[in-house]
Structure 1
């Protein structure tokens, strides 16, 4: 229970619908859709579209999307993979012949075909009451009439100033008056508003063909890209079943690869063999075990996971008890495991949205342009900031995540859902690039092992063992940091906090919803 003597946030409680986002205006837009009779999917997409304008460092219509949707909180869960593919001309040999051994993150080669718009259209077809024509209106107004820059967004804008100065069309679209936007500034993007109007009128086809697609292709090819109009026209969303595991009596669900949700599930399988309640939530032991589980899971992901359309991924074998047991036997509480240093190529930005409507339809939803401000490439006439998700590929023939024609890169964004007895109890996600599987694990174990409410679980200090270094937030106690060092962990402080997050807990007996939203971002949970 919250100590009201200390700074913090209360959980938000409602009976009907609820949404939690990283920006209060997006949460408000979602609530308005819910009150107008829209579904959880409708509200998520209205909020996501608005965030694509007002939180440009994290998301945009030039990015990708994943979602888990469960009708009435107890129906069949559907996973939506709205990730984009590499151009058909993108062959590893092409890059190696030109002595390009990794994808430059601010080049046209880092831009995969944006998947978000088609994913929104597909999700609405299956689970929405409204169309893009209505749901894009808040985003159109924000782009056309202007929006006020929020503090965390301004923080990121300032930190990315040097990147934006060197970008393509970024000085025109994203550096008003030649400097980063500050908190309280009003930003208008009339070209993006026109683009959104065209999509609202013409649907997904208006984005993937015609003048908008032509402008994106022209922009990319003018700076060396391999993209074609055919690449855009061919894009589709993949609709699949989720993958899952059991933790503390709950079923935990993720989108299958090429999403990295399998990483979080492996972490849970490892941690499920330990009684975390024996350790304080901010203890050396808890942080050590979380790091070791992450290191094992990330190593697995780098060795075995890519686009399943181009390789066989043995998901059942990776999630089997035997896989976890094999690695658990090596973990020691008195020292660090001797594992290869895993250095994934991506550590991007994201927005996560969770919505539950009055009928208890649940939508766990995530949208991203990869790194902050994506590739720092804005389309010439249409004002679309393009992602750099293809920077997640390796240029390494034989590697499961090697770039290839029409291939989807190993992703970082993961929406999550937990059910009990088939019923949804928790829709949640944690933003922050490579941190996401660790963040989801941290939040879920805070709830299921330590009895935190959703806000306490999100608030708790975090750490990420990444590229051989344990990155720890300021809130991790000094004694814990020193103890981790004694076990062999190299530690460092962080300039920016780790990710953000949202969660909604469903209490079926009381008929209520409880929401939380991360203070590391600008957002909130709202309901009615």
Structure 2
């Protein structure tokens, strides 16, 4: 069934982009151009991804930067296998749960020094490049260094988000000096320069990982935080390392959908798909009340498990295999009332015995494909902006729970629960689609919807991302909040008034377009080796190939 037949192409923003030798899709056009330049020079998909990510830290600081974390899924064409990297940082070893409680803190702060964890992105870049890079590491930073010095025009959506971040983070020392040097956020079309970030990138280009984690940059970060109530030390930074991890998957109607295991939330998308595979979705109107209801109820069930079990596997026994098993999905599916929305649901017992981000994807002539996501968490992050470096530190520490015995409870040297997740789809052991959808807790919901759009409803790659989305908010959270009222449901334009009325009659609490519906980028490898690219119509970015 084609997209035109499904909903009249109301959300088809453009045709797919095609390329034979390489493809890139990012959330900012300059970053897409930089990625293509690296591919044309003979660089690998990973070279292109790192160069694009570095530039995004400059041109889209509202979603990412060297002060944040990174996750990646990489299709290794030579090995014909998918590999995963967890490049997320850990909490300060000098800050304990008891110390937080002594300060009267009952919930981790959203921003400020106590929300800062070790930034993992730079180590992630170096780890990925050492395995998959072809161009010299320093070459990957040349575009970002130059744009930082000479300036770049700020695009529309980023300008809006920049202004919102200025309001939220102006109180933190050093923030305005970097991001509002003229006293206000840059407006659309303004030329913005960040020479301090250029110098940071130059140091990383010349000195690699050690320049960031053991040199002057590390000392500046640690000294600044110590002076402003933080606990991250040079030792915390020096001891950081990324981890190669085995991706996990579930089969969905003949495809294999891949995510990374916790401490991220990727397996929530797999749980949603496992539950929904028990229904003949293709027989339902994709934009009708029955589909929306089943999807929302499946999401509620998966997110209860997300709140209960997802955490750093070095500190908690996370039953991944059980959570994504067919048997467990059947148990959870049986709890769905086909006619009534649930106000509250319980997490299951899978044999235990007891928002802001950038996503990008690249592909090269050899068949390598990269699915990479990187973030500071809430917009620009914690607000903590070390002097002379040109970037803000992330606030991922906010995502810890402070409840005793919770798998995600704060501990020194622990990775917090993470929202950012890259995704990948294979068919018959061959690469098919590299994709992601940025946007906090929206991400597993949108991953599942993209897969369903492609597989059940026959949409093409651009249509699958443009189609009107479902977003449920208010589920229980890994930070301790519990759903008691069923949460709220938001539907993008494209769902009819009659659909909305019927959903309300079924007990759903509808709120019009509330929340972040995400930002999608994707690359598909076709059977003849040609790449198709798609980019989010809700963002500033684009896909391009050659």
Q: Do they fold alike, i.e. is TM over 0.5?
A: yes
The residue correspondences of 1:136-147 to structure 2 (distance < 5 A) are 136-147=141-152
User: Does the aligned pair in 2 maintain the 1:473–1:497 contact within 8 Å?
Assistant: no
**2: CA distance, partners of 1:248 / 1:52:** 38
Which residue of structure 2 lines up, in the alignment, with residue 441 of structure 1? 448
User: Does the aligned pair in 2 maintain the 1:67–1:364 contact within 8 Å?
Assistant: yes
Which residue of structure 2 lines up, in the alignment, with residue 520 of structure 1? 538
1:148 corresponds, among 138, 149, 153, to 153
Which residue of structure 1 lines up, in the alignment, with residue 513 of structure 2? 494
**2: CA distance, partners of 1:490 / 1:199:** 49
Rate the CA distance shift 1:5–1:105 in 2: closer, same or farther, 3 A: closer
TM-score (norm 1): 0.96
Q: For residue 186 of structure 1, report the CA deviation from its aligned partner.
A: 0.8
Q: For residue 155 of structure 1, report the CA deviation from its aligned partner.
A: 1.6
Rate the CA distance shift 1:29–1:88 in 2: closer, same or farther, 3 A: same
**2: CA distance, partners of 1:10 / 1:233:** 46
Which residue of structure 1 lines up, in the alignment, with residue 356 of structure 2? 349
Which residue of structure 1 lines up, in the alignment, with residue 460 of structure 2? 453
Residue 60 (structure 2) pairs with residue 60 (structure 1): no
Structure 1 range deviating more: 66-75 or 34-43: 66-75
Cα deviation digits, residues 454-484 of structure 1 (max 9, x gap): 1101001112111111122233332222222
The residue correspondences of 1:220-239 to structure 2 (distance < 5 A) are 220-239=225-244
Could you tell me which runs of 5 or more consecutive residues in structure 1 were left unpaired when the two chains were aligned: 343-347
Structure 1 range deviating more: 229-238 or 495-504: 495-504
Rate the CA distance shift 1:341–1:486 in 2: closer, same or farther, 3 A: farther
Residue 88 (structure 2) pairs with residue 48 (structure 1): no
Residue 374 (structure 2) pairs with residue 371 (structure 1): no
Which residue of structure 2 lines up, in the alignment, with residue 345 of structure 1? none
Which residue of structure 1 lines up, in the alignment, with residue 262 of structure 2? 257
Q: Secondary structure at the match of 1:465?
A: strand
Which residue of structure 2 lines up, in the alignment, with residue 428 of structure 1? 435
Cα deviation digits, residues 394-428 of structure 1 (max 9, x gap): 11221111111110011001111111111001111
Q: Secondary structure at the match of 2:167?
A: helix
Q: For residue 5 of structure 1, report the CA deviation from its aligned partner.
A: 9.4
Q: Secondary structure at the match of 1:492?
A: coil
Rate the CA distance shift 1:315–1:387 in 2: closer, same or farther, 3 A: same
Cα deviation digits, residues 275-305 of structure 1 (max 9, x gap): 1111111111111111111111111011111
**1: CA distance, partners of 2:512 / 2:221:** 39
**1: CA distance, partners of 2:262 / 2:169:** 31
Cα deviation digits, residues 106-152 of structure 1 (max 9, x gap): 11111110000001100111111124311011111121111110001
TM-score (norm 2): 0.93
Q: For residue 168 of structure 1, report the CA deviation from its aligned partner.
A: 2.5
**2: CA distance, partners of 1:172 / 1:482:** 49
Structure 1 range deviating more: 42-51 or 488-497: 488-497
**2: CA distance, partners of 1:195 / 1:162:** 26
The residue correspondences of 1:155-166 to structure 2 (distance < 5 A) are 155-166=160-171
**2: CA distance, partners of 1:367 / 1:171:** 23
Residue 183 (structure 2) pairs with residue 178 (structure 1): yes
Q: Secondary structure at the match of 2:522?
A: strand
Residue 313 (structure 2) pairs with residue 295 (structure 1): no
User: Does the aligned pair in 1 maintain the 2:71–2:421 contact within 8 Å?
Assistant: yes
Q: Secondary structure at the match of 1:136?
A: helix
Q: Secondary structure at the match of 1:77?
A: strand
Could you tell me which runs of 5 or more consecutive residues in structure 2 were left unpaired when the two chains were aligned: 348-354, 475-486
Which residue of structure 1 lines up, in the alignment, with residue 219 of structure 2? 214
The residue correspondences of 1:33-182 to structure 2 (distance < 5 A) are 33-72=38-77, 75-182=80-187
Cα deviation digits, residues 176-227 of structure 1 (max 9, x gap): 3222221101111111111111111000110001210111111211221111
Q: For residue 334 of structure 1, report the CA deviation from its aligned partner.
A: 0.8
Q: For residue 497 of structure 1, report the CA deviation from its aligned partner.
A: 4.8
Residue 478 (structure 2) pairs with residue 484 (structure 1): no
User: Does the aligned pair in 1 maintain the 2:26–2:543 contact within 8 Å?
Assistant: yes
Structure 1 range deviating more: 65-74 or 234-243: 65-74
**1: CA distance, partners of 2:253 / 2:278:** 10
The residue correspondences of 1:310-349 to structure 2 (distance < 5 A) are 310-340=315-345, 348-349=355-356
Which residue of structure 2 lines up, in the alignment, with residue 505 of structure 1? 524
Q: Secondary structure at the match of 2:182?
A: helix
